[in-house]
Amino acid sequence: MPAIQIPTQKWSGKVREVTLGATAADGGTRAKTVTVGGATTLPFLHFDGETPHAPVVAIEIQDRYPEDWSPILLEVWGDAAKDPASWAKAAEEKGADLIYLKFALNDDLSGDYARKIVRQVLDATGLPLIVFGPGQVEQDNDILVSVAEEGEGERLVLGVCEEKNYRTIVAAALAHGHLVDARTAMDVNLGKQLNILISDMGLPLDRIVMDPTTGALGYGMEYGYSVMERLRLAALQGDGMTQLPMLVTPGEETWRAKEARTDEGVPESWGDWTERAINWEVLTTSTLLESGADIVVLRHPESLKRVKGMINALMSH
């Protein structure tokens, strides 16, 4: 009987390598840098091609105590969540690869305030830093420009950089040596288009991470899943404007969902709250990793541990 030939798939394209953070040698102060991308295969198919860098996990911290977060999260982070510097340290201790600092929407957000917080976090951790504004164009522009100045040379990732405000954010990234998180709403063509607009302003492609947005499990996750799968296929087929590592925020999406957030008035069939909530976060995340995510932002340290275990298992071959 003729032997079965393993059906391998060789691609012409390759995901671009992107490095987050800069050490003293490169003009920053980070203890280490994190490089993602470089894959010449769909996720974790080592018989098809190379995956030189494993996907990485960032932990989300916020500039002020997030009172509206699920009690499960507030309990597990405890007092650390009351101060961004100690929160960053705690996240690093729990094994995060990156810190994702999110500024919550607040009336007295200002550039100076944002500078102060970013400085505290940079001083508290040696991990590369991703900084997101509240997602409102005006506030984002205000604080991210100041953050870019304060973090000069650190190769921060600034987000979100959307069609509405990309000019300001990209200009700040260009001037101060940072990267941007290019976010579009679950659509292959919109994603490509924004990358083109950003690179037309002169930001090198290896300073862009693509953020195709996702929903949590049960809340549109499958759209994000298929959009990411299509983007990665396009990248491997040689489409340069999709050959960027992808960042998604399954933690934020999960913990907005009722399943994770609360145990009040929910059906008995939903089961134990903590078990369900952690499963919601890790399953949203693991499914997105299987479809091409390179950077995932999580909220719960137990999810961090499990997802890192899964990534390690998938990287071994």
Partner 1 sequence: MALSGLQIYKLLPGSSKNPEVKKHANCKECGFPTCLAFAMKLGQKQAKLSQCPHVEEESKSRLEASAAPPIRLITLSADGHKATAGNETVIFRHEKTFYHQASLFVKVKDNQADAADVAAAVGAYTVDYVGMDLTLDGIAIEDAGGDFAATVKAVKEASSFPIILLTDDPVKAEAGLKAAAGTTPLLSAATPDNWEAMAKLAKQYKAPLTVRAADGDLNALVELAEKVKGAGVEDIVLDPGVRDYSSSLAVFTQLRRLALKKNERKVGYPIIAFAGDDPMLAGQHIAKYGGFVVLDSFSPGTAYPLLVLRANIFTDPQKPIQVQPGIYEINKPQPDAPMMITTNFSITYFSVANELESSGLPGWLLVADAEGMSVLTAWAAGKLDAERIAKGVNTFGIADKLSHRRLILPGHVAVLMGELEEELPDWEIKVGPREAVDLPNYLKTQWG
From the list 57, 99, 280, 301, which residue makes contact with partner 1 (rule: CB under 8 A)?
Answer: 280
163 binds partner 1 (CB under 8 A): no
- Match 């970013």 to its residue by tokens: 118
Residue 261: name the closest of 66, 88, 100 by CA: 66
Contact 244, 18 (CB under 8 A): yes
At position 306, the amino acid (one-letter code) is R
267 binds partner 1 (CB under 8 A): yes
From the list 259, 292, 294, 295, which residue makes contact with partner 1 (rule: CB under 8 A)?
Answer: 259
174 binds partner 1 (CB under 8 A): no
| Cβ at position 315, least distance to partner 1 in Å | 7
Using the minimum distance from each CB to partner 1, give the nearer residue, 92 or 162: 162
7 binds partner 1 (CB under 8 A): yes
Contact 283, 221 (CB under 8 A): no
306 binds partner 1 (CB under 8 A): yes
315 binds partner 1 (CB under 8 A): yes
106 binds partner 1 (CB under 8 A): no
From the list 88, 221, 235, 304, which residue makes contact with partner 1 (rule: CB under 8 A)?
Answer: 221
Largest CA distance in the chain: 74
64 binds partner 1 (CB under 8 A): no
From the list 261, 299, 300, 308, which residue makes contact with partner 1 (rule: CB under 8 A)?
Answer: 261
From the list 74, 258, 302, 305, which residue makes contact with partner 1 (rule: CB under 8 A)?
Answer: 258
From the list 47, 106, 112, 204, which residue makes contact with partner 1 (rule: CB under 8 A)?
Answer: 47
| Cβ at position 23, least distance to partner 1 in Å | 31
Q: Contacts with partner 1: how many residues (CB under 8 A)?
A: 59
User: Residue 185 contacts by C-beta under 8 Å, 6 or more apart in sequence?
Assistant: 213
170 binds partner 1 (CB under 8 A): no
Q: Which stretch binds partner 1 (CB under 8 A): 27-35, 76-84, 121-129, 275-283?
A: 275-283
Using the minimum distance from each CB to partner 1, give the nearer residue, 195 or 291: 291
Q: Which two tokens mark 193?
A: 């288009």
Q: Which of residues 78-97 bind partner 1 (CB under 8 A)?
A: none
| Cβ at position 20, least distance to partner 1 in Å | 25
222 binds partner 1 (CB under 8 A): yes
- Residues contributing to the site for partner 1 (CB under 8 A): 1, 3-7, 9, 44-47, 68, 105, 135-136, 215, 217-223, 225-226, 229-230, 233, 256-259, 261, 267-276, 279-280, 282-283, 286-287, 290-291, 306-307, 310, 313-317
